[in-house]
Amino acid sequence: MATLLDRFEEQKMKKTKGKPCTICGEPIVLVPSAAERARKDVTGKPAQYFINLFDQHSECTVKKRSEEAVANMRRYRETGEGMII
């Protein structure tokens, strides 16, 4: 059962929408929300901790990795160097 304070936190989190993604710049919306994670966390971490935990969308990370892999392969084909995967 959510308390009023939890709801307030929840609303605040929704408003702040989390940190912007360091790759695409869009705000990161956590599901479940940071407030929700904080509520369930047994070690008493604040919601902010969970917001700070994520600074990239998982899709963006995957996209960036595959782009890096493609760039690596291209460099490898062109120069015979690299291939650090």
Q: Which of residues 1-40 bind Zn ion (CB under 5 A)?
A: 21, 23-24
Nearer to Zn ion, 21 or 53 (CB): 21
Interface stretch with Zn ion, choices 11-19, 33-41, 42-50, 53-61 (CB under 5 A): 53-61
Please classify residue 62 by burial: count the beta carbons closer than 10 Å to its beta carbon, then call 0-12 exposed, 13-18 middle and 19+ buried: exposed
Interface stretch with Zn ion, choices 7-15, 36-44, 56-64, 69-77 (CB under 5 A): 56-64
CA dist 31 and 36 (Å) reads: 9
Q: Are 6 and 16 in contact (CB under 8 A)?
A: no
The footprint of Zn ion (CB under 5 A) covers 21, 23-24, 57, 60
